[in-house]
Structure formats: structure tokens, C-alpha cells
């Protein structure tokens, strides 16, 4: 079965993709009759060297994303994973020659089709009297023994685009640029790893991997790598990649050692999430610095992809200060990142968190509660939430991402850990404030924010008094804050429904002579009934409101959790141990 892709036609996808880039970038133009993109200010290059590159489509943003002042003059694109036509390459060479450039350098990745087609176009252009040179880039560090075809051209080619572009912009001649970038190309290596293959439009995936396998040393055309390894952590995979790239026994090794200074590229092969890319980047920086390697610059992003391949490649380029100046030189190329011109290694990566403000003295008494009683109540609440984890997750799968129970269990474990550090404050205002900060930091999700808001606001009325009317006012303040920022109202099928029902009963605490347990019991019963009633409600807020079905046949997990917390508090307070 072929994979789904957002195309107009398979045959026209490469043309459409290039046209889309040019349509959105006024600094680019298409060369009529050819799949060629050129700088729109081509006339400004008179007297300078032009730089052309290209290859098959499917590697976006390479190569057209790197057209611009300080990088490429133009790009010739083939069909997906197919070398461009000789006629189009020659047309591009003629186009840049006609504006008065003093020569053209072709930057070609080391693949047979690219070498042949660019090489033939070069010969024809030279026969017409146009000065043309060609450098073939092979930065693949996958193969440990020499292959007749040589090392494949991978993401390191983008760094050659940058170095050559900076030299051309500085007015350096064709012969010198060719010599200098050829030397730079020998000082770098790239290695890729992927969780699965990619698929050319209209075709099936190029290879299959079992769920516990990872492909190491693969190219950028969906071809398999040098070996398959077992799935491992990001740290372990990065370590394996660096070991492979720098192994002294490998003919394609990068001679990186302790004391070396490098540019690191962490390249998304197309389908990896940005979250995973950040994890890999962190692992690579730590691993290299752990080996005594200085990371002069780090580039993280998508530079040379293989369609939707969920993988990454790491590129290491040995650099000195003159080469770094070329890497740092200005460019208008849209796909080149805005890299800080300072070393990554040696920079302080964190700053001290601000100190917590000193607590104001609490003038209220403990309100009848001791620290021991508070701890017992909280332990009962935690045990209840931990016991409900799977049930709440099951309820949440119908309308959310199935983690409501996990989120509440995370809060319970955070509270348990906090209780082990020492007795909780007996002061209600301080207790609720501490719990608010704890849940905001540890619970996560919208539930953590809502509970944090509730507790922060509820603490305020308890600073002056801790009698039953004050506790009723605390409930009012907490729910007002939840509604203000959460935007839910009663009847929206959220945790607010349970708490709102309890609040209505707790208004009785404001009457003289109100009984603590009688009112609280009614409040808990009302909260439980309201939680059960949410299964007949249409979701008006929260993630469940986006579900296409108008009604859900299970109660809201947040409402169930809130009612369970109130039940646990009641039972703990009624317990003889308390």
C-alpha cells in the first residue's frame, strides 16, 4: 500500500514544491522551461563567482532553501530522489554566465547520477567558453572500508554551500574557492540513523524495520544503512553514532579528538518531532563535551531531509577561527538558521532561580487543625487518588488523552514526597498556598493549573479568619478564580461541576450555628451526584468540547476526581485517628 501524501499529482510534485518556495520568496525566481531556481538579483553578481548546486527533490529545504546572498546562486532540482537533467543544469550555468559572473562552481553530492549529469553539463559549458569548476562532496561516515563509489554526499554539503557562499560574497576567485572548499570537505563527516524508512510519492516504504530496530548509517534516498541496531535511548544511540564516526579503524572517520573544535549539525531527516530533535541535540552536546571536544557552533533543524523519514543525522566539521568566520558570515538564504556567533562550549547554560519571597507572619490560629491532622487528611486524599488512577485514565480516554488519572497520581505522589520532608503548616492559608505551589510545579496539565488557581485564591480569605464562614468564602474565591481563567461554567462537563455543587451546600456554613460535618456531608453527596450527572452533559469546555459526538456516556474524570477528593477529606476528618 502506498503512503498518503498531500500532492496534486505524483508526476508534478517536484515542480509544485519548487514553485511554492519561489511563490513565497520574492528573492527567488524560476528559470522558464526548467526546474531551476535562481536569485532574483542575479544582475548584482557581475564580476563574482556563481555557485550552483542541486540534485533530486525530496531533500527540502535543500537545496533551494539555501539560495541567497552569501550562499547559493541557484539550484537545479530533479524529480524526487532523481538527478536533474543535463539540459537544465546547462541552462542554469548559461543564465548565471550571461549576467557577467566570472565563473561558476558546481557543488555536487557524491551520487553517480549527480556526478554524471553535472559533469556532462560542465563539459558542455566549458566547450562554450564558460569557466566552470565542480567539487564533489562525500561526507558519509557510515562505511568503515573504502567503497569504489566513495563516500555519499549528505548534510555536510550544506556547510560547503555556506563556506563557498561566504568566499564568493567576499570576491574570492573561482580557483581559490574550489581549492578551499575541497579542503574543508575533507575535514567533516556525517552519519544518519532512522526509526523507519520513507516512501517516494506513489510508492511503498523503501525498507521495513521491526518495532525494536533502528537503521544506522543510511543515506538520504530511502536506502538501507550499514547495519541495524536494537532500539535504545537517545543517549545510547548518539554515543554509538559518535563512536562509529570517529573510530580510528574507519576509512571514513572524522578525526575528532579531545581538544578539537567543531561545528555540530543535528539534522532532522524529515519526520522526527522537534521534541526528539531537542533531546538528540542535548545528547550530542553532552557526549561531545564529555570527550573534551569544543563545540564552536551548533546548528539544529531540518537542513537536508529524506521526505518524511523519522530520523536524524549528525555532522561534525573541524574548524578553526578563519573557517568559523565563513560559517558566521551573513546570508539571506531562508533555510540557514540564525546561529549565535559565540561558542556553545564554555557558555553558562543556567541561572539561579529567584529566591522564594519571605512568608508574611500568619496571624490566624490553626483553625482547630494540627499539623498531624493535616498530614493524615492529605495522606487520605493521596491514597484515594492513587487508587483511582486507572479508572480516571479510562474515563479520560473517551474525551481526552487518557492521562487524567496519571496527572492526579502525579499530584498525589508530589504531596506524599512533600509530607516526608517535614510537617505541613497547620495554618490553613499557608497550607493552601504551599499546596498550590506544589501542584503548579509538579502536577502538570490544565488540572495542575486549575487546582493551583483554586488553592491560591482560596487561601486569601483564610488569612484573616479560619471559622466556617471563612472556609465557605474560601470555596467561593477558589471557584471564582477557576471560572475567570478556565472559562468553564456549571454544566460544561468539567471538574467545576462537582466543586460548584459542593459550594452551594457550603453556603450553609455562613449561617450562625452551622454544623461542620452535616454541611460537609451534604456538600460531598452533592458533588458526587454532580459528577455522575456529567455523563449526560454536552462538553462545553476543556478538551472534551472538541469531540465530534454531542454527548459522552461516561462521567467527566475531572469531576469524578474532585468529588473523590472531597469524600476523602470528609472521611479523614471523621476518622477517630484524626
Going by the annotation, the residues of the binding site for substrate are 56-59, 109, 114
63 is a catalytic site residue: no
Q: What is the DSSP track for 249-287?
A: T-TT-----TT-EEEEEEEE-BS--HHHHHHHHHHHHHH
Residue 117 backbone dihedrals phi, psi, to 5 degrees: -70, -45
Please enumerate, by residue number, every residue annotated as part of a binding site.
56-59, 109, 114
- The three-point CA angle 215-295-314 to 5° equals 15
Do the Cβ atoms of 538 and 548 come closer than 8 Å? no
Q: Which residues contact 511 (CB under 8 A, 6 or more apart)?
A: none
How far is the first Cα of the chain from the last one, in angstroms, to the nearest whole number? 65
Residues 32 and 44: their CA atoms lie apart, in Å, by 20
User: Cα–Cα distance between 149 and 571 in angstroms, integer?
Assistant: 77
List CB contacts of 73: < 8 A, sequence separation 6 or more: 38, 39, 42, 45, 50, 51, 52, 67, 96, 101, 104, 168
Q: Is the dihedral of CA 106, 112, 116, 117 positive or negative?
A: negative
CB 318 within 8 A of CB 187: yes
Task: State the alpha helices, DSSP H only, in 68-111.
Answer: 86-98
Cα 72 to Cα 54: distance, rounded to the nearest angstrom: 10
Hey, which bits of 32-173 come out as E strands? Answer: 36-39, 49-57, 74-80, 103-109, 132-137
- The helix/strand/coil state of 37 is strand
Cα 127 from chain centroid (whole Å): 50
Which of 34, 63, 161, 221 is catalytic? The answer is 221
Q: Which residues are catalytic?
A: 221
Amino acid at each position: 500500500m502506498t503512503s498518503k501524501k498531500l500532492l496534486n499529482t505524483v508526476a508534478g510534485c517536484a515542480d509544485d514544491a519548487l514553485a511554492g518556495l519561489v511563490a513565497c520568496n520574492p528573492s527567488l525566481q524560476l528559470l522558464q522551461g526548467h526546474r531551476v531556481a535562481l536569485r532574483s538579483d542575479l544582475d548584482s553578481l557581475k564580476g563574482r563567482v556563481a555557485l550552483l548546486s542541486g540534485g533530486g527533490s525530496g531533500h527540502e529545504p535543500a537545496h533551494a532553501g539555501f539560495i541567497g546572498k552569501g550562499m547559493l546562486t541557484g539550484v537545479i532540482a530533479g524529480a524526487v530522489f532523481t538527478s536533474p537533467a543535463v539540459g537544465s543544469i546547462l541552462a542554469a550555468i548559461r543564465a548565471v554566465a550571461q549576467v557577467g559572473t566570472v565563473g561558476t562552481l558546481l557543488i555536487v553530492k557524491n551520487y553517480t547520477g549527480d556526478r554524471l549529469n553535472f559533469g556532462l553539463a560542465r563539459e558542455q559549458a566549458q566547450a562554450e567558453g564558460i569557466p566552470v569548476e565542480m567539487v564533489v562532496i562525500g561526507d558519509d561516515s557510515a562505511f568503515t572500508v573504502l567503497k569504489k563509489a566513495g563516500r555519499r554526499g549528505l548534510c555536510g554539503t550544506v556547510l560547503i554551500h555556506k563556506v563557498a557562499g561566504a568566499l564568493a560574497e567576499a570576491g574570492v576567485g573561482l580557483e581559490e574557492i574550489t581549492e578551499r572548499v575541497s579542503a574543508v570537505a575533507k575535514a567533516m563527516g556525517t552519519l544518519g540513523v532512522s526509526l523507519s524508512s520513507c516512501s517516494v510519492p506513489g510508492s511503498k516504504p523503501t525498507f521495513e524495520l521491526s518495532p525494536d530496530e533502528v537503521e544506522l548509517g543510511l543515506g538520504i534516498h530511502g536506502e538501507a544503512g550499514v547495519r541495524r541496531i536494537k532500539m535504545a535511548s537517545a543517549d545510547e544511540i548518539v554515543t554509538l553514532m559518535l563512536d562509529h564516526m570517529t573510530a580510528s579503524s574507519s576509512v571514513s572517520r572524522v578525526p575528532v579528538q579531545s581538544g578539537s573544535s567543531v561545528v555540530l549539525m543535528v539534522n532532522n531527516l524529515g519526520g522526527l518531532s522537534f521534541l526528539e530533535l531537542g533531546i538528540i541535540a542535548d545528547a550530542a552536546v553532552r557526549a561531545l563535551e564529555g570527550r573534551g571536544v569544543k563545540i564552536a557552533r551548533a546548528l539544529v533543524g531540518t537542513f537536508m531531509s529524506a521526505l518524511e523519514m523519522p530520523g536524524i543525522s549528525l555532522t561534525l566539521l573541524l574548524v578553526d577561527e578563519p573557517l568559523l568566520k565563513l560559517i558566521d558570515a551573513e546570508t539571506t538564504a531562508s533555510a540557514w538558521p540564525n546561529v549565535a556567533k559565540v561558542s556553545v562550549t564554555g557558555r553558562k547554560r543556567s541561572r539561579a532561580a529567584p529566591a522564594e519571597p519571605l512568608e508574611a507572619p500568619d496571624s490566624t490560629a490553626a483553625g482547630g487543625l494540627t499539623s498531624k491532622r493535616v498530614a493524615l487528611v492529605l495522606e487520605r486524599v493521596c491514597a484515594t487518588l492513587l487508587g483511582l488512577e486507572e479508572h480516571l485514565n479510562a474515563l479520560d480516554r473517551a474525551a481526552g488523552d487518557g492521562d487524567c488519572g496519571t496527572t492526579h497520581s502525579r499530584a498525589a505522589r508530589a504531596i506524599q514526597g512533600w509530607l516526608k520532608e517535614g510537617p505541613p503548616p497547620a495554618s490553613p492559608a499557608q497550607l493552601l498556598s504551599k499546596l498550590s505551589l506544589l501542584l503548579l510545579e509538579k502536577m502538570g496539565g490544565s488540572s495542575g493549573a486549575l487546582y493551583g488557581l483554586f488553592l491560591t485564591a482560596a487561601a486569601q480569605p483564610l488569612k484573616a479568619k479560619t471559622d466556617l464562614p471563612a472556609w465557605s468564602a474560601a470555596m467561593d474565591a477558589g471557584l471564582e478564580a477557576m471560572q475567570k481563567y478556565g472559562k468553564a461554567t456549571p454544566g460544561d462537563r468539567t471538574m467545576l461541576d462537582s466543586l460548584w455543587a459542593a459550594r452551594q451546600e457550603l453556603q450553609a456554613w455562613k449561617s450562625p450555628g452551622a454544623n461542620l460535618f452535616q454541611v460537609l456531608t451534604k456538600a460531598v453527596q452533592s458533588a458526587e451526584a454532580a459528577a455522575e450527572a456529567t455523563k449526560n452533559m454536552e462538553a462545553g469546555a476543556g478538551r472534551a468540547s472538541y469531540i465530534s459526538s454531542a454527548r459522552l456516556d461516561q462521567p467527566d474524570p475531572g469531576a469524578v476526581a474532585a468529588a473523590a477528593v472531597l469524600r476523602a477529606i470528609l472521611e479523614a476528618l471523621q476518622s477517630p485517628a484524626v
